[in-house]
Structure 1
Amino acid sequence: MRDVRDLGANSGDMTEANLHHGAKVALFLGNRLACILRDDLPHIHYPNLWDLPGGAREGAETTFQTVARELHEELGLILSPDHLLWESAFSSLTAPDKWNAFFVAQMPAVSVNDIVFGDEGQRWALYDMDAFIALPNRVPSYGGRLAKWVAETGGLP
């Protein structure tokens, strides 16, 4: 799978010289999305909203390294490149001059048994994609990002 930085002109200035700000993953365990309710702290972005695993880049990580590390920190799951279904790049909502990678991945439903919730967020849950998109208290950009994935790929295999 291509690194998001290789998307070229379709993604503006999303090149290796302009490293990604962070990465998120819409991770399906079977056919349900793994989601995290963000902490309810006034100093963080999107407090008390349902979020997808991921976060900020550390050092010179690739987009995949960022999302794999964050997923492991937040839910204790090990992401393999074989789990990836799609990736794209989007402008960062919290740092508009930067960009974020957005992945869609799928692991077997039994992977839910391997979840070890980390120390960020209030709790985790599994949602059907349509139910997640309909949540009034989710990070707003994910509806459009998931719709783009479905439009380009047809959705889950």
Structure 2
Amino acid sequence: MTQGCPSVTEPFNGAKIAILVGDQILTILRDDIPTIPWPGMWDLPGGRRENAETPTECAFRETWEELGLRLSEHDLVHSCPYPGRFETVWFLAAECPGLDVSQVVFGNEGQEWRLAPIPWFLNHEKAIPHLKDNLSDYLAIR
């Protein structure tokens, strides 16, 4: 599941997950607060690691908190660490062709959520750049 991914031994700080529903992706418009990272940008579910969570546990918990959706290991198709200058964050992808988005219960972070065409997210000037890169990496091996 980590085809073409770097080998990482250091601890990680968080995880992001691309939830793909056919040719669409679930995305969240971040709050427009200047003191947070990426204010007013289109983001993917995910966030900081809590306690001794695995990358999958972190991404699944954040998905539950942000969108009210429970994902399963069966949905997970990709998991890759991305070491940065200061921290390592995992990027995961879940293929959920039968996901009923009417079940989304939007949490208290962000302005709105959207099920958007994948190219819309990849080309949007307000989508977080490194997440577009991470998603492109996955799509290249999909």
Normalised TM-score (structure 1):
0.83
Which stretch shows the higher mean deviation, 27-36 or 121-130? 27-36
Which SS does the other structure have where 2:16 is aligned? strand
Residue in 2 that maps onto 1:55: 47
Residue in 1 that maps onto 2:26: 34
2:135 to 120, 140, 146: 146
1:120 and 2:120 are equivalent in the alignment: no
Deviations 1:19-72 (A, max 9, x none): 211000010123310000000011100000000000000011111110000000
Deviations 1:96-127 (A, max 9, x none): 22101101112134420210000000000011
Residue in 2 that maps onto 1:43: 35
Q: Which amino acid aligns with 2:91?
A: F
Residue in 1 that maps onto 2:64: 72
Which SS does the other structure have where 1:104 is aligned? strand
Residue in 1 that maps onto 2:89: 100
Tell me, yes or no, if the aligned pair for 1:31 and 1:109 is still in contact at 8 Å: no
* Structure 2 gap ranges (5+): none
1:82 to 68, 74, 87: 74
CA distance in 2, matches of 1:29, 1:38: 21
CA RMSD of aligned residues (A): 1.6
Tell me, yes or no, if the aligned pair for 1:37 and 1:124 is still in contact at 8 Å: yes
- How many residues align? The count is 140
Residue in 2 that maps onto 1:111: 100
